[in-house]
Amino acid sequence: MSNEVLFYAMKKIVGTEWKSKIGELKRDENLDIFTKICDAMAFSHRRDIIHRDLKPENVMLGPFGEVLVTDWGCAVDLSMKESFTGAGSPPWMAPEMALQNHSAVGTRSDIYLLGAILYQVVTGRPPHPGRTVMEVLLAASRNQIIPVENPDPLLNIAMRAMETRVEDRYETVEDMQADIREYRRHSESIALTERSQSTLEKAIEAKDYERFSRCIFGFQDALELWPENEAALAGLQRARFAYGKCAFDKKDYDLCLETLNREQTDEAQLYQQAKLAKEAALQRENRFKRLRKAFAAAILIGLATSSLLAGIAWLQRNEAVSQKQMAERSAVAEKKARQDEEAAKNVAIEAQVAAEKSAESEKLAKNEAISAKVAAERAAESEKQAKLQEERAKDVAIQAKFEAEKAAESERAAKIETEQRTAQVELAGLRSSLALALSQVDQLEVARAGELLQSLAAPSTYQTLVGKQQLPKLKTWAWNRIHLLSNRDLLEKPWGTRIVELAYAPQAGLGVVAIAEAAVQSLKIVKPVSVRLQIDSRFVLDVG
């Protein structure tokens, strides 16, 4: 310039601050941007220049995918060996920068800032807590980082970059980039872990056995892809415990014991509780069986007692009949005695000569009449007692019959309760078997899934009226859904053929299908295959 005034030129940047986009972009998109920032800082560190104020708002995103690190006003050339003042932004600042320990500030301070940015990519916020600038600055000086509950491999990389001791951090940006590249190679395992975490939360909220099974299998698949995936391992342990707790709360003790790993400290206590609860349930069932036997014995004793009382009543009735017959004979004798007395009087009147003899005969007749009268009174009293005994026997028989009916009703109620409990156990087994069949389908074990479904399709012993409640059929929507999933390899309709009518006769085992081919309508006989219809030899229709 003619006036010799010094100046410098800067590139004009057109773009958007990363700060405004970091919350909207997906993790992989943010990692692409972060990797380019690391490339820029690795280039800078090779020339002994550190930035000291790295943060999302100092990164610009161009319209064609450019990533530019801006605001180098706090940068320091370490090769110049010159003193410098403090700088940086407290929410991302390294401890040595917050404490103004300039001798410790270097390339690893920038690595700390990169770790803080990576922490924000994972959690959505800067690492240091605080409501005011001074509180945040104090947290930075103490290296206080907001804790995160769920483990994340990417977060482990960020935490290593943010170690308090400078020498414990990554030595170079390239070392940090190597771990990030290793993490991204395991992205499929990580994505599977995240989906399983989401499924686990829904399963816990809905207490859904199917979702629990899906998330457990998801965590296991994630660990197969990447055995060092700590998030998947922790998720698997949490899912297994939650699944077992759900089964325990629903009294599915067998499922709880199958799910839990008693070698794990967190699961051992619940495993022991489920084991004790199962034993208690078996004891209750055994007590119920003994009680049912006692009821049966009581009924037999009641019947025997009723028979004995009926026999006694029959004997007493026969005795009463005998007493009555004796009383009748006594009455006849009394009547005869009166006739004899009248004859004796006539004889006495007619024969004065035999008065003495007649008087003696009369005295004897009177004595006999008195004896007969006494016998008649005794017979009447005996008959009365016999009637009372007969009425008492009837009362005893009625009471025995009432007790027998009451015992029979108790037995019926106990039988209904047993059937209901057995049906509940069978339904619980059905749900567990359906969940197992679905898991087999997910693992592509369709043969095993088919065997499970066929065993469930067999007639059930308890698929009858239990009390007054009709149990549901075993071929439910869930059965058909899993059955459909296990047969996804069936051949579908080819060549654009359109079926216009379908009829199927289960009893005859035949069906007919009307097929429209071009302008011609045709009827073709089909034969059933399991619960599907095979049309000619070209394709199969599922009619289940």
Taking the C-alpha atoms of residue 473 and residue 463, their distance in angstroms, rounded to an integer, is 7
Q: Indicate if the pLDDT at residue 182 is higher than 60.
A: yes
**Which percentage of the chain shows pLDDT scores above 70?**
75
pLDDT tens-digit map of 218-236:
988 988 888 888 888 888 8
The pLDDT score that the predictor gives to residue 481 is 79
Is the separation of the CB atoms in 508 and 494 below 8 Å?
no
pLDDT tens-digit map of 454-491:
877 654 544 444 444 455 555 677 778 787 787 765 54
Beta bridge partners, 510, equal 505
pLDDT tens-digit map of 258-292:
777 767 766 667 767 767 766 666 666 766 676 67
Both tokens assigned to 354: 């035999």
Q: 325 or 139: whose pLDDT is higher?
A: 139
Taking the C-alpha atoms of residue 119 and residue 126, their distance in angstroms, rounded to an integer, is 7
Closest-CA residue to 157 (of 190, 193, 118): 118
Both tokens assigned to 258: 């199958």
pLDDT tens-digit map of 254-265:
777 777 776 776
The whole-number average pLDDT for the span 343-354 is 67
Taking the C-alpha atoms of residue 116 and residue 134, their distance in angstroms, rounded to an integer, is 18
The whole-number average pLDDT for the span 15-34 is 94
The pLDDT score that the predictor gives to residue 521 is 42
**109 exposure class (CB count in 10 Å sphere: 0-12, 13-18, 19+):** buried
What are the domain boundaries of the chain? 16-185, 490-542
3-class state of residue 22 by DSSP: coil
> How many CB atoms neighbour CB 222 within 10 A?
26
Q: 239 or 538: whose pLDDT is higher?
A: 239
Q: What pLDDT band is residue 538 in, cutting at 50, 70 and 90?
A: very low
The pLDDT score that the predictor gives to residue 543 is 47
pLDDT tens-digit map of 410-431:
888 888 888 888 878 888 888 8
Taking the C-alpha atoms of residue 519 and residue 536, their distance in angstroms, rounded to an integer, is 20
CATH number for the segment(s) 16-185: 1.10.510.10
The pLDDT score that the predictor gives to residue 31 is 94
The pLDDT score that the predictor gives to residue 353 is 65
Q: Indicate if the pLDDT at residue 108 is higher than 90.
A: yes
Write down the mean pLDDT value for the chain: 79
> How many CB atoms neighbour CB 41 within 10 A?
24
The pLDDT score that the predictor gives to residue 281 is 64
Q: What pLDDT band is residue 386 in, cutting at 50, 70 and 90?
A: confident
Closest-CA residue to 541 (of 520, 516, 513): 513
> How many CB atoms neighbour CB 240 within 10 A?
20
Length of the chain: 544
